[in-house]
Amino acid sequence: MDENAENIEAGATDYTGLTTNLVSAYVSNTRVPPAELPALIASMHAALGGLGRGSATQAPPT
């Protein structure tokens, strides 16, 4: 079993590690100017950290 699956099962997600893996994979396939890397890293980390914390949206009444 891979490390990410073990973390999820244990209930402790390493957002820094996930961010590192995702950003690394993204920039290996996409040209990203060096000046944009900090914003990309911050955005990815914030997005991962926000998963599961949002309030459930309800469908509008019909």
Per-residue pLDDT reduced to its tens digit, 17-42: 999 999 999 999 999 999 999 999 99
pLDDT at position 34: 95
Whole-model pTM: value is: 0.64
pLDDT at position 20: 93
CB 14 within 8 A of CB 7: yes
Average pLDDT over residues 40-51: 90
**29 by DSSP, 3-state: which?**
helix
pLDDT at position 13: 76
Residue 16: CB partners within 8 Å, gap ≥ 6?
45
Q: Where exactly are the structural domains of the chain?
A: 3-47
Q: Where are the alpha helices (DSSP H) in the chain?
A: 3-10, 15-29, 37-50
